[in-house]
Chain A
Amino acid sequence: MKITRSGYAGIAFTLVVFLLLPAVANGQWVKVFTSAACFTLVTAGIAFMYSRLGMVSLGQVALMGVGGWVMLRMNHGFDFPFEINLAIAATVTMLFGWILALPALKMRGLYLALITLMAAGGIEVVLSTYRFPNGGSGFWGVLPSVAAPFRRPVIAESDSAYLQYVIVVVAIGFALIDLHRRAAPGRAWAMIRRSEAAALASGINVVYYKAWAFGLSGLLAGLGGALLAGSLGLLDSATFRASESIMLFALAVVGGSRYWLGAVIAGLLYRVLPALFNDWGWDADLTLVIFGVALLHAIITAPEGISGQIIALLSRKKRDTT
């Protein structure tokens, strides 16, 4: 299989952050980057659906909450190792996403976005009422005192090792998307993107392949949520509000949905920038204003997103030099 230039860049970037981040970041920033990496994975799912199929999901952060919920439920309910729980959380989220999406997949554009937003609103209500399992008894598993311990992967018990672990999973996630893009589903998606009628005429099962895409990005959201649960050892419903889902989609557009770099930029904007502002002691309300202005500016001036601008800049330089 041929690896593209962007693929080489991605592998190089992964290696650099894998080796560099845990070495230079202290306790606080290791946690910040771990969060950012989890959200990068989720954004990758949002961005690929948007750029490959024109499908908009405003419910991915809520799906992430589902993945996190399952992860904590498994952790506190059974004695399986981390990886098995991770796989189960991702699979359950994928199925959950499917169930939500199947009736919606015939819809397009804004209406698909709205039904996913409604799903996100519903999930927000359920999560904020029942909360996340923290070692209590019963199905919901919530106890009023401090959470029971969370088992991280055996090879990544410390915070910095866990960050490396998350980076590897994120890289695998990107590779998974790329594999799909090169195989049968990818060809079907390209056809659907061009014209649904033409795809239908050439015998492609449009709903099936759309559902496939939705399932893949649900899987990535589930992984992201489960990894985030492992970062803190617990989760809070405030992280998964419906408004956060809209926000992450916005940042996926700002980052640029066509390139892997866009998802990374979105993850950094979503988690690293607010942490920086907080570190500088800026008022939380003003941070919101800056964030909003930046969002508007990026959406208006960069239809291809920030990563699109960076890549255009790089390729122009290349042309100039050759």
Chain B
Amino acid sequence: MKQKILHLLLYALGMLLICALLAWGKPPKIIGLFVVSGFAVGSLYALGGIGLVVLYRATGVLNFANGAVGAFGVMLAWQLGQMGWPGPLTWAVGILAATLLSLGYGLVIAPKLAWRDPVVKAVATLGFAIVTLGLTAFIWDDDVRRFSLPTDKQAVMVLGLRITVTRMIVISAAIAIVLGIWLFLSHTRIGLQMRALANNRDLSALIGVPILKVETIAWTISGLIAGFTGLMFGDLIRLEPTVITFMVIPSIAAAICGRLNNLGLVLAGGLFIGVVESLLTLSPLLKQVRPIAPFVIAAIALIWMQRGQKLVFSRDA
């Protein structure tokens, strides 16, 4: 717990420090704009990262295909919308499709790799990701499209920047998921089993944790999150399957900031990355390489986490 608080404090401090460094001498109104815009982007990274960590904790699979199944879901939702289906139904079908894809992989392919290296498991999901991406790109030929939600039209002013309700949904969803999962893990039996599985797979199997059931639930939850994230990426970033699929790489950066197991830190890390990336625009030297922010921050976070230790991630050894 102490460690956690220390980390949160450090993120907050680091955020303030870098903000101050980047924003030095700029008018406060402009800084406000960039910070708010950074929160908006950062919440997307955080959402992607949360989806990854929920699954990784329970199953040991870092799912590179999260972006791809989300992309399929949002393309399907768009298609149904074009065919005149009512909005809420298309969103539900989109999220459901992503969930089923994710669950399908989790039940059919993932068990065959259960005893392999975590890295090989992760790389196998890349195979699934490119199958999904290939099919999605084949079905929906390259064209300009737009996926929008009714909440795009309503907005509130925050520090001089208009923030649409969709963006507020993203950030509140991220917070709600973090809280919800925390409650789920600490107050339900399945949550307890999930934590046991995350701690030691072999031992949990020995003492009779129903691995299949727990993993099915984990894949379902992460599929739901991936589908929802896909809809949000499609609305707020671009409705292009390739772009959404490879959003998984900066999302991994956010996940790393929470050392792949702490959802609160993933959220904080994602927001931090977003704000830094946005504030880099103020630096004439660095603004062209802004998107490097997630990778640099994740690398620093990794190095920070392993300071003074010989073998940091014994779970993984």
Chain B residues whose CB sits within 8 angstroms of the CB of A295 once the complex forms:
124, 126-127, 130
Which A99-158 residues sit within 8 Å CB-CB of chain B?
A: 103-104, 106-111, 113-115, 117-119, 121-122, 125-126, 129
Query: Digit string of B270-294 for contact with A (CB within 8 Å is 1, else 0)?
Result: 0000000000000000001101101
Query: Digit string of B249-276 for contact with A (CB within 8 Å is 1, else 0)?
Result: 1101100100000000000000000000
Whose C-beta in chain A lies nearest to the C-beta of B141?
A285
Whole-angstrom distance between the Cβ of B199 and the nearest chain A Cβ = 16
Q: Are A118 and B256 CB-contacts (below 8 A) given A104-B303, A111-B313, A289-B131?
A: yes
Which A142-187 residues sit within 8 Å CB-CB of chain B?
A: none
B62 near A292: Cβ-Cβ < 8 Å: no
In the assembled complex, B174 has its CB within 8 A of some CB on chain A: no
B299 near A250: Cβ-Cβ < 8 Å: no
Q: Are A288 and B137 CB-contacts (below 8 A) given A110-B62, A126-B292?
A: yes
Chain B residues whose CB sits within 8 angstroms of the CB of A303 once the complex forms:
116
Whole-angstrom distance between the Cβ of B294 and the nearest chain A Cβ = 7
Query: Digit string of A239-256 for contact with B (CB within 8 Å is 1, else 0)?
Result: 000110011011001000
Chain B residues whose CB sits within 8 angstroms of the CB of A111 once the complex forms:
302, 306, 312-313, 316
Whole-angstrom distance between the Cβ of B296 and the nearest chain A Cβ = 6
Whole-angstrom distance between the Cβ of A15 and the nearest chain B Cβ = 34
B306 near A299: Cβ-Cβ < 8 Å: no
User: Which interface class (under 10, 10 to 19, 20 to 34, 35 or more) fits B?
Assistant: 35 or more
C-alpha gap A253/B129 in the complex (Å): 17
Contact of B123 among A54, A119, A246, A289 (CB under 8 A): A246
In the assembled complex, A291 has its CB within 8 A of some CB on chain B: yes
Chain A residues whose CB sits within 8 angstroms of the CB of B133 once the complex forms:
288
B126 near A108: Cβ-Cβ < 8 Å: no
C-alpha gap A293/B129 in the complex (Å): 10
A121 near B119: Cβ-Cβ < 8 Å: no
B312 near A113: Cβ-Cβ < 8 Å: no
Chain A residues whose CB sits within 8 angstroms of the CB of B45 once the complex forms:
none
Q: Which of A103, A283, A292 has the most chain B CB atoms closer than 10 A to its own CB?
A: A292
Chain B residues whose CB sits within 8 angstroms of the CB of A117 once the complex forms:
249, 252
Whole-angstrom distance between the Cβ of B109 and the nearest chain A Cβ = 6
B126 near A121: Cβ-Cβ < 8 Å: no
B122 near A110: Cβ-Cβ < 8 Å: yes
B124 near A299: Cβ-Cβ < 8 Å: yes
Which B72-115 residues sit within 8 Å CB-CB of chain A?
A: 109, 112-113
Chain A residues whose CB sits within 8 angstroms of the CB of B126 once the complex forms:
243, 246-247, 250, 295
Chain B residues whose CB sits within 8 angstroms of the CB of A285 once the complex forms:
134-135, 137-138
Whose C-beta in chain B lies nearest to the C-beta of A121?
B295
Whose C-beta in chain A lies nearest to the C-beta of B259?
A111
Chain B residues whose CB sits within 8 angstroms of the CB of A122 once the complex forms:
292, 295-296, 299
Chain A residues whose CB sits within 8 angstroms of the CB of B119 once the complex forms:
56, 109-110, 113
Chain A residues whose CB sits within 8 angstroms of the CB of B128 once the complex forms:
292, 296
C-alpha gap A126/B296 in the complex (Å): 12
B316 near A110: Cβ-Cβ < 8 Å: yes
A250 near B131: Cβ-Cβ < 8 Å: no
Which A210-268 residues sit within 8 Å CB-CB of chain B?
A: 242-243, 246-247, 249-250, 253
A121 near B109: Cβ-Cβ < 8 Å: no
C-alpha gap A104/B124 in the complex (Å): 23
In the assembled complex, A3 has its CB within 8 A of some CB on chain B: no
Chain B residues whose CB sits within 8 angstroms of the CB of A16 once the complex forms:
none
Contact of B311 among A106, A113, A249, A250 (CB under 8 A): A106
A119 near B295: Cβ-Cβ < 8 Å: yes
In the assembled complex, A300 has its CB within 8 A of some CB on chain B: yes
A292 near B134: Cβ-Cβ < 8 Å: yes
In order of increasing CB-CB distance, the 8 nearest A-B pairs are: A288-B134, A292-B131, A289-B134, A295-B127, A285-B138, A292-B130, A122-B295, A296-B127
- Residue pairs across A and B with Cβ atoms less than 8 A apart, 16 shown, are A54-B117, A106-B310, A111-B312, A113-B119, A119-B295, A121-B295, A125-B295, A253-B120, A253-B123, A287-B134, A288-B130, A288-B137, A292-B128, A295-B127, A300-B113, A303-B116
Extra 9 A-B pairs, beta carbons < 8 Å, given A114-B302, A118-B302 = A107-B312, A107-B313, A110-B122, A122-B292, A285-B135, A286-B138, A291-B130, A295-B124, A299-B127
